[in-house]
Amino acid sequence: MLRANPKATPPIVRGLRCAACNARVAIETPFSWRCPNATGNDRHHVLLIESDVAPLRRVKHPNPFIAFRRYLAWDAFAHAHGMTEAERDSLIGELDAKIAAVAGTGFVFTPFARADELSDALGFSDTGGVWVKDETHNVAGSQKSRHLFTELLHLVSAERLGLAPWAIGSRPSLAIASCGNAAFAASTLAKAENWPISVFVPEWADGALVERLRGLGADVQHCPRLDTDPAGDPCVFRFREAVANGAIPFGVQGPENAWCLDGGRTIGWEMAYVAEHMEPPLIARLFVQSGGGAFAASLAEGFHAGGTRAALHAVQAEGCAPLSHAWTASGKFSTIGQAAAHWNECMTPWPSTPTSFADGILDDETYDWVSVCRAMRASGGFPVVATEQVVRDAYVLAHRTTTIDVSPTGAAGLAGVMMIRDRIANDERVAVVFSGIRRETPMP
């Protein structure tokens, strides 16, 4: 049961463990972005957070990073180095205020409620329906900022604890590979903390987005595919080159920076808190749009901590659906841990140029496929590949039946519901996340 936790308690995160090779990293280790066995372009490793969240409790506070602080790996890291609870809360508040000054809002609990007109349009009964988590008014207009905030907290706390190898005033650049919301969120947080950042974007990156990034002070670098590149995303290769030359990984791909998986869980915890107080029936399915996979992985881990085993459905568009192959290939292994040790067999880059109206989930690889497949297996879910027409129809339906100004990518989870609607009972309750705000995208 979810309830307030009025007494101070120590953090409960034990450490980090690689899903592929079982290497362990102590929670007090600074800058523990990657598995120590990951080298060069070999990112077939991912550190996962080891903790026992249940039973999930929250402190009564409007900021989710304070309300659920004791469950965060960042909090355990700071605690291990002697920062008091008051100092940790103060740091969250200080950075949140700086972010609000840039973004116009800080971190707050976002709405999660039944979308009545949408539910009616899809033929659900009064008992069932679609519950929408609205992240469009989060910091920088999407859920991506939550993943990045724990990375920023780790960096700033390490600096203040005297653990950073750089001198004051000579911070190395942050770096991110992204074509949309993650880049904007990263640049917003970097601007708030006055930290330099390089953003590696595809050649086809939206011009208006590039101008917004530059307006935030980001160094934007377009990344054409080079003949010398292996299969995969050229933006990620250029990003890795920058990190090899001293930049700090500041993105939302678990194999590149495991700390992104930390803050993303707050969305699931918020949803679990609401779901715990619903009149029955429980939420039966979670539909989550998935590009690199960190969002789906974090959301499922957070939501399932509330005790509700809703089936996870990770949704990709037919123009870029590498997760479907990984799901099928991993099925021949008795556990996902065994599948992770055969990464090359399971997760292969998308063989052609990714394309979709939902352009924010066009990752050549589902980098966090291990966690996503594990959550789908454990919950009885499976991946859904949406046709391009359904992706567009979902975007139109979201705007016709709700007042949420969601982007095509942000509505892609709804496309998953529509693809398998005939397999969902009318009295089932399903949840989706409208994860990003529409900017310049016209209606199709």
The alpha helices in 227-341, defined as continuous H runs, are 234-244, 260-263, 265-276, 294-304, 322-330, 336-340
pTM for this one?
0.93
pLDDT at residue 41, rounded to an integer: 74
The answer as to whether 1 is a domain residue is no
Looking at the fold, whether 93 and 205 belong to one and the same domain comes out as yes
- The residue whose two tokens read 């067999």 is 345
Distances (CA, A) of 420 to 32, 278, 386: 40, 25, 9
pLDDT at residue 186, rounded to an integer: 97
Q: What is the CATH number of the domain that holds 410?
A: 3.40.50.1100
Looking at the fold, whether 307 and 429 belong to one and the same domain comes out as yes
pLDDT at residue 291, rounded to an integer: 94
Looking at the fold, whether 136 and 25 belong to one and the same domain comes out as no
The answer as to whether 439 is a domain residue is no
pLDDT at residue 444, rounded to an integer: 65
The answer as to whether 442 is a domain residue is no
The answer as to whether 178 is a domain residue is yes
The two three-digit tokens of residue 182, written as one number: 């993650």
User: 83 lies in which domain range?
Assistant: 13-102+144-260
Looking at the fold, whether 29 and 170 belong to one and the same domain comes out as yes
The answer as to whether 4 is a domain residue is no
Looking at the fold, whether 91 and 194 belong to one and the same domain comes out as yes
Distances (CA, A) of 205 to 68, 220, 317, 384: 35, 10, 18, 26
pLDDT at residue 192, rounded to an integer: 98
Contact between 243 and 217 under an 8 Å Cβ cutoff? The reply is no
Residue from 29, 51, 47 nearest 38 by CA: 47
Each residue's pLDDT expressed in tens, for the chain with a length of 444 residues: 333 343 455 568 999 999 999 999 999 999 999 999 998 778 899 999 998 776 778 889 999 999 999 999 999 999 999 999 999 999 999 999 999 999 999 999 999 999 999 999 999 999 999 999 999 999 999 999 999 999 999 999 999 999 999 987 899 999 999 878 899 999 999 999 999 999 999 888 888 889 999 999 999 999 998 988 888 889 999 999 999 999 999 999 999 999 999 999 999 999 998 888 888 889 999 999 999 999 999 999 999 987 778 999 999 999 999 999 999 999 999 999 999 999 999 999 999 989 999 998 999 999 999 999 999 999 999 999 999 999 999 999 999 999 999 999 999 999 999 999 999 999 999 999 999 998 766 666
Domain boundary among 202, 231, 260: 260
pLDDT at residue 307, rounded to an integer: 73
pLDDT at residue 9, rounded to an integer: 56
Looking at the fold, whether 352 and 392 belong to one and the same domain comes out as yes
The answer as to whether 443 is a domain residue is no
Q: How many CA atoms lie within 13 A of 61 on its CB side?
A: 17
Q: Spell out the residues 6+ positions from residue 76 whose beta carbon is closer than 8 angstroms to its own.
A: 11, 12, 13, 27
Looking at the fold, whether 336 and 231 belong to one and the same domain comes out as no
Domain boundary among 196, 229, 260: 260
For residues 298 and 254, give the distance between their C-alpha atoms in angstroms, rounded to a whole number: 10
Number of domains within the chain: 2
Looking at the fold, whether 89 and 234 belong to one and the same domain comes out as yes
Question: What angle is formed at CA 430 by the lines to CA 428 and CA 434, rounded to 5 degrees?
Answer: 160
The answer as to whether 91 is a domain residue is yes
Determine if the peptide bond prior to 442 is cis (ω within 30°): no
For residues 166 and 386, give the distance between their C-alpha atoms in angstroms, rounded to a whole number: 46
